[in-house]
């Protein structure tokens, strides 16, 4: 049974969106390590799958922006992808590889971070990817430090069906109250709204009443960070974790 929180959330967690992407190419191991070094509580990353079945970390379905080559990840082999430079679009970056989920988890397992794995399966469906992700998480016994999210509602529901003890969250841009009703109906644990949804009257407090975690993206403005913290949201997903940590620590009084 869900418990109802009556006190404001005391200390929201700060997740580095695609790693510390202001310092290093997004969704790469250097960006993830830097987020950890900054003191972020968690990392948000994007997951896809190559044609030969490797789970790989990358935001865009097509590699034009990130690697300067017009090809979709779903049509490439892992070997082809691992020859590309994921730092192509990042000014001054040395060459860096697109990481596999396996590489990420083998590092992550030794940290105390939380990871939000966003399955990028709204454009291309990647059938059965949920069970493959679960298998990878279970290899390292990490269910208690992983949150799985997607804009694909059916995929989130499927993940929850496969692993009722795993934190599963629906990502969305609009219609927050509809998202909340669906989350409650399907027993999801969290909602990941675009930050503008927190201005919809009553939405955040309704989530809090139902013990649905609210993790907002992508919050980069100090004013919006402060407002969100006052609302009692659970997590800020941000491109600027250093700034968010500073604001969070200033806003929240240490507990006695
Ligand atoms: O997971 C939150 C956020 O990352 C969703 O949008 O496009 O940055 O993956 P996007
Ligand atoms: Ca994402």
Q: Is the CB of 217 under 6 A from ligand 1?
A: yes
Q: Is the CB of 44 under 6 A from ligand 1?
A: yes
Q: How many other CB atoms are found less than 10 A from the CB of residue 23? A: 17
Residue 156 in any domain: the answer is yes
**194 labelled catalytic:** no
Q: Which long-range contacts (CB under 8 A, 24 or more apart) does 19-26 make?
A: 19/43, 19/45, 20/241, 20/242, 21/239, 22/239, 22/240, 24/87, 24/90, 24/93, 24/96, 25/66, 25/86, 25/87, 25/89, 25/90, 25/93, 25/96, 26/59, 26/66, 26/90
Residue 53 in any domain: the answer is yes
Catalytic residue among 17, 192, 194, 210: 17
Tell me the helix, strand and coil percentages in the chain, rounded to 5: 40, 20, 45
Residue 25 in any domain: the answer is yes
- pTM of this prediction? 0.95
pLDDT at res. 2: 43
Q: What residues of the chain score a pLDDT lower than 50?
A: 1-9
**17 labelled catalytic:** yes
- Domain with 176 in it: 13-62+99-251
At 215-231, the pLDDT tens digits run 999 999 999 999 999 99
Residue 239 in any domain: the answer is yes
CA of 118 to the centre of ligand 2 (A): 6
Residue 194 in any domain: the answer is yes
pLDDT at res. 252: 77
Q: What is the C-alpha to C-alpha distance for residues 179 and 38, in angstroms, rounded to an integer? A: 33
Residue 73 in any domain: the answer is no
Residue whose structure tokens are 């200033």: 250
Q: Is the CB of 43 under 6 A from ligand 1?
A: no
Q: Is the CB of 17 under 6 A from ligand 1?
A: yes
Which CATH number do you get for residue 212?
3.20.20.190
Domains contained in the chain, number: 1
């Amino acid at each position: 049974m869900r418990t109802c929180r009556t006190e404001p959330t005391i200390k929201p967690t700060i997740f580095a969106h695609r790693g510390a992407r202001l310092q290093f190419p997004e969704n790469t191991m250097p960006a993830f390590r830097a987020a950890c070094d900054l003191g972020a509580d968690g990392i948000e990353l994007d997951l896809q799958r190559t044609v030969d079945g490797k789970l790989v970390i990358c935001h865009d379905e097509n590699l034009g922006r990130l690697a300067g080559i017009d090809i979709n990840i779903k049509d490439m082999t892992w070997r082809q992808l691992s020859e590309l430079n994921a730092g192509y679009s990042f000014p001054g970056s040395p060459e860096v590889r697109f990481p596999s989920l396996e590489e990420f988890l083998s590092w992550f397992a030794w940290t105390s971070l939380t990871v939000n794995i966003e399955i990028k399966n709204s454009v291309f469906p990647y059938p059965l990817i949920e069970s493959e992700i679960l298998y990878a998480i279970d290899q390292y016994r990490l269910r208690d430090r992983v949150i799985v999210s997607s804009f694909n509602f059916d995929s989130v529901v499927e993940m929850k069906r496969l692993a009722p003890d795993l934190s599963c969250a629906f990502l969305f841009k609009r219609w927050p109250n509809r998202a909340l009703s669906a989350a409650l109906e399907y027993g999801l644990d969290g909602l990941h709204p675009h930050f503008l949804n927190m201005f919809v009257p009553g939405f955040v407090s309704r989530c809090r009443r139902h013990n649905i975690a609210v993790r907002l993206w992508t919050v980069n403005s100090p004013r919006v960070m402060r407002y969100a913290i006052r609302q009692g949201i659970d997590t800020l997903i941000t491109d600027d974790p250093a700034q968010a940590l500073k604001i969070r620590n200033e806003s929240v009084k240490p507990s006695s």
